[in-house]
Amino acid sequence: GTHYIGFADEPNLNYSSYSQYQAIFTSMARQVRSDPANARAGVRIAMPASSRLVNGPFADNAADKRGIDWARRLLSESADQVDALAWHEWMIRDLLATRVYRDSVRRAAELVGLDGNGQPRKALLLDQTNMSSGSSLSLYDQDTHYASLWWASVVINASQDGLLTMLNWFQAADEPQYPKGMLRVLGDDHFELKPVGLA
């Protein structure tokens, strides 16, 4: 199968500058590409997932760190090293605002371009999303009827144009001190879907 590897987590939030991020990406991509066995095993390189592709991360200088701008720069410099464009989306809590998901997918597809079949030239991976950011542990985000409506709306909007390769809820199952999953863990082999999972 295909396995996507990214070399950083939300670099537009966690790195001080694009150049710092670009240097790490270039070095790591070179290492992966240098061994043909990686490609034969299905390993593909995803552009490290940015925090909030279009609107930028929650940071003082967000306008200078928009994921789509960093992605555009990296593609202009190293397009042959990138197999997929990945990003995370957080804090779109209003049900009507979930149309942002459709917009971000369309903007990502526009950035990588479409092939003759109308599909993105590089895979589009919205590989982490939730109603709130990763540090929030509010039960409201998973254990309510509203959460299930919200997730259904996200899925509909993100997949409406048939351009997205992957959409992931963050995270799949609860951990002991981190109950943010779509699944509640009741035992070693016993799980229960939360309301958001029933959507």
Q: Does the pLDDT of residue 61 top 90, yes or no?
A: no
Q: Please, which pLDDT band fits residue 12 given cuts at 50, 70 and 90? A: very high
User: Taking all residues of the chain, what is their mean pLDDT, rounded to a whole number?
Assistant: 93
Can you give the pLDDT at residue 21?
A: 92
Can you give the pLDDT at residue 59?
A: 86
- In whole angstroms, what is the distance from residue 50 CA to residue 90 CA? 11
Q: With pLDDT > 90 as the criterion, what percentage of the chain qualifies? A: 76
> CATH code for 3-131+159-172?
3.20.20.80
Q: Does the pLDDT of residue 199 top 90, yes or no?
A: no
The alpha carbons of the chain give a radius of gyration, in whole angstroms, of 17
Cβ neighbours of residue 97 under 8 Å, at least 6 residues apart?
Answer: none
Can you give the pLDDT at residue 69?
A: 96
- In whole angstroms, what is the distance from residue 73 CA to residue 64 CA? 12
In the chain, domain spans: 3-131+159-172
Q: Which of 197, 114, 99 is nearest to 156 (CA)?
A: 99
Can you give the pLDDT at residue 99?
A: 96
**Mean pLDDT in residue range 58-70:** 90
How does pLDDT run across 95-148, given as a tens digit for each residue? 999 999 999 999 999 999 999 999 999 999 999 999 888 788 888 888 999 999
Can you give the pLDDT at residue 76?
A: 96
Output the CA torsion sign for 159, 93, 109, 123.
Answer: negative
How does pLDDT run across 73-96, given as a tens digit for each residue? 999 999 999 999 999 999 999 999
Put simply, whether the predicted model's pTM sits higher than 0.85 gets the answer yes
Q: Which of 86, 8, 4 is nearest to 43 (CA)?
A: 4
- In whole angstroms, what is the distance from residue 126 CA to residue 106 CA? 12
Q: Does the pLDDT of residue 2 top 90, yes or no?
A: yes
37 DSSP 8-state letter: H
Q: Please, which pLDDT band fits residue 163 given cuts at 50, 70 and 90? A: very high
